[in-house]
Structure 1
Amino acid sequence: MNNAMTRFKSPRAGLLLLMLLAVLVAAVLGYKQLSRPLQSQPFGNPDKALASTPVSFAVTQALPQAVNLDVRKVTLGQQLFHDARLSKDNTISCASCHSLDSGGVDNRARSVGVAGGVGGINAPSVFNSGLNFVQFWDGRAASLEDQVEGPVNHPLEMASSWALVLDKLGADATYSSNFGTLYSDGITTANIKDAIATFERSLVTPNSRFDKFLQGNVNALTLEERTGYELFQSYGCASCHQGQNLGGNMFEKMGLMGDYFADRGHLTEADKGRFNVTHHPDNLHEFRVPSLRNVALTAPYFHDASAATLEQAIAIMAKYQLGRPMPAPDLTAIAAFLRSLNGQYNGQQL
């Protein structure tokens, strides 16, 4: 015991103890600084917008200008994407629920399929879907090719079968020729899915004002939008909405800091989220984090379409995901930032 006390009191041990305490204090202060929401004030110097971004959250990247794909397959997939013959009664195409004129969605709470059938979940955007790590809200499709399988066979969507689709397309001389040119085995289920998925991978929407900001044009965003971007990070929104797609690359539980579903009520099967795929209790109410690209165009929001506006969606996220109130000026600034995420498709502003 006496020897231990002697070692502790030695100058070297004391110095090491002081250094350890200094590191701990710095770590605590650093954590508080990063976790503290910014005041609702515009930047003193807008040219320092990027420099003032906390490094630990600087994980967002601009979208690529284009994706390297077989243009012939893209063209074929585009035709199939808009072809209602994929549905049982020739009335519903992929574009019926994923309009390329309105943010890649139909802006309905629930999509309407064959014979007026109504789906059980809000349709996500098809734009930039090739950047998602899985497809569907519950992640049940590992790829875009797998995703095509769902709507074609779903009784409330296209209500068709691959046998019926193959018969219809096989009777079309143009399709027979185009498939024969691109695929050695012609029109098959796998080749139809490949062509549609290839087209969907082409649906990137670069050149948003935010992309230009990330590329160095600080003036591409207004002061309010830049303030919103910093708040988006300091509140912790960027911990789930990051990467090129500002989302789409992880699962998260809806209601981390409050019981969203108990407060909302009227539970549905879709509310179980990823649990419906894995049947594991830990996955109850987990969903793929949605991309925020073009989010201003894709209302209503969330899998259940419970938020009609961006402001409502942000308020819900602040309450149930962040567990903290958000002052109105902060909410408005974040909404302004999110409206800067609208990109271009085929050179036209969305």
Structure 2
Amino acid sequence: MDFYLLTALTQTFRTACRKLAVLLCFIMFFILPKAWGDHAESITQLHRGEKAAETGRLLFNLDFKTQGVNNISCSSCHQASRSFASSKQFNRTFTGQATRYNAPALVRLNHQIVFGIERQDPNLVNQIRHCFQNNMNVTPAKLLFVLQSDDVLKTNFNQLFGRLSAGSAYQVIAQYLLDLEFSESKYDQFLNGDTKALSEEERAGYQLFMEHGCNHCHSGSELGGLTTAPVQINNEKVWRKVPTLRNIAFTAPYLHDGREISLINTIDFMAKTYSYRALSQDEADKIARFLSTHSSSISDSSGEVFRAPH
């Protein structure tokens, strides 16, 4: 009986392995190439130089209320002074209703492969289009009206594209965000081989970060932006984008719903939720000190727009 049971279990295991291998091959050859391809396309189509980025900057910060459209701009939720995040738990849509999520920081988007907390679109231009039409209520027709009403924007778009179009507007905003310049953080220096870039306490925090498996989701040079992870919303497990942790020390409130103001408390919550282990106050402090080393100042064509204290 034991022999037959062992044989059956072995066959079941082999079948499961074959199915897993097929699934992995499907992901590697069909899903990932499409995600990377769409992401690459959304970037390579944008190489139109500094004028495009400067035009995107003007449009990103444009107060649409002055244009008779509504009272929301991109910078209403993504404030440069907050590392392109929001100081509010929730912002307001064009209807005055609270947004579903805390606005994420728009940091080093050219090092990320999915955009949007919920939609997780591999194409940045598509995500910008979604925000304009759904959060800001700026339809393509309204956007064209704005472009035609602003002499500077109208001139720039005609020089860049030969015509005015909503699609081109989304592209120049993407160009602006992709062209933002970030100073080298202490953690960047550490990754580049400077072992003295981090203090002994910061290195201890880095070690704790790794030991608790935080890097399983918050991976890569940006410590995030490359994958999704499950979160509990209304007692339901859903998958949401893992945010980057660059400049995390300056982008409170935290978590997808902005429920937490304290970075220390957020770290403790994440440890309990995902590594199933409570941290001591000292451990949480050390991880927070490590995360604070991944801080960068940000500049655009107008100069420095965010300064990270060191």
TM-score clears 0.5:
yes
Letter in 2 for 1:349: R
* 2:93 corresponds to: 113
1:73 shift after superposition: 0.9
Letter in 1 for 2:62: D
Question: What is the distance in 1 between the residues matched to 2:219 and 2:127?
Answer: 23
* 1:199 corresponds to: 176
* 1:232 corresponds to: 209
After the TM superposition, which parts of structure 1 deviate over 6 Å for at least 4 consecutive aligned residues?
A: none
* 2:222 corresponds to: 245
Q: How does 1:48-63 map to 2 (within 5 A)?
A: none
1:290 shift after superposition: 0.9
1:242 shift after superposition: 1.1
Question: What is the distance in 2 between the residues matched to 1:73 and 1:100?
Answer: 19
Question: What is the distance in 2 between the residues matched to 1:206 and 1:182?
Answer: 29
Q: How does 1:142-291 map to 2 (within 5 A)?
A: 142-154=122-134, 157-184=135-162, 186-254=163-231, 260-261=232-233, 267=234, 284-291=237-244
Question: What is the distance in 2 between the residues matched to 1:68 and 1:336?
Answer: 37
CA contact (8 A) 2:86 2:104 kept: no
Question: What is the aligned residue count?
Answer: 257
Question: What is the distance in 2 between the residues matched to 1:332 and 1:311?
Answer: 6
Question: What is the distance in 2 between the residues matched to 1:324 and 1:106?
Answer: 30
Please say which structure displays the higher CA radius of gyration: 1
Tell me if 1:304 matches 2:257: yes
Segments of structure 1 that go 5 or more residues without pairing to the other structure are 1-66, 255-259, 262-266, 273-283
Per-residue CA distance 1:231-273 (angstroms, 9 max, x = gap): 111221111111121111011112xxxxx55xxxxx2xxx86x
Q: How does 1:6-155 map to 2 (within 5 A)?
A: 70-85=49-64, 89-114=69-94, 116-154=96-134
Question: What is the distance in 2 between the residues matched to 1:69 and 1:225?
Answer: 41
Segments of structure 2 that go 5 or more residues without pairing to the other structure are 1-45
* 2:268 corresponds to: 315
Per-residue CA distance 1:77-121 (angstroms, 9 max, x = gap): 111100122886442210111011112111211112336332111
CA spacing shift, 1:349–1:173, aligned 2, 3 Å? closer
Percentage identity across aligned positions?
A: 28
* 1:19 corresponds to: none
The DSSP-based 3-state class of the residue aligned with 1:108 is: coil
Letter in 1 for 2:80: L
Question: What is the distance in 2 between the residues matched to 1:114 and 1:204?
Answer: 30
CA spacing shift, 1:297–1:68, aligned 2, 3 Å? farther
1:311 shift after superposition: 0.9
Question: What is the distance in 1 between the residues matched to 2:115 and 2:249?
Answer: 21
Question: What is the distance in 2 between the residues matched to 1:99 and 1:289?
Answer: 20
User: Aligned-pair RMSD on alpha carbons?
Assistant: 2.2
CA contact (8 A) 1:78 1:196 kept: yes
CA contact (8 A) 1:88 1:160 kept: no
CA spacing shift, 1:169–1:295, aligned 2, 3 Å? same
CA spacing shift, 1:253–1:88, aligned 2, 3 Å? farther
CA contact (8 A) 2:268 2:279 kept: yes
Q: TM-score, normalised to structure 1's length?
A: 0.68
The DSSP-based 3-state class of the residue aligned with 2:229 is: strand
Q: TM-score, normalised to structure 2's length?
A: 0.77
* 1:36 corresponds to: none
1:182 shift after superposition: 0.9
* 1:335 corresponds to: 288
Question: What is the distance in 2 between the residues matched to 1:229 and 1:333?
Answer: 8
CA spacing shift, 1:207–1:97, aligned 2, 3 Å? same
Question: What is the distance in 2 between the residues matched to 1:246 and 1:325?
Answer: 21
The DSSP-based 3-state class of the residue aligned with 1:325 is: coil
CA spacing shift, 1:203–1:134, aligned 2, 3 Å? same
Question: What is the distance in 1 between the residues matched to 2:48 and 2:195?
Answer: 32
1:226 shift after superposition: 1.2
Question: What is the distance in 1 between the residues matched to 2:215 and 2:95?
Answer: 41
Question: What is the distance in 1 between the residues matched to 2:96 and 2:271?
Answer: 36
Higher mean displacement: 103-112 or 187-196: 103-112
CA contact (8 A) 2:128 2:174 kept: yes
* 1:51 corresponds to: none
CA spacing shift, 1:68–1:246, aligned 2, 3 Å? farther
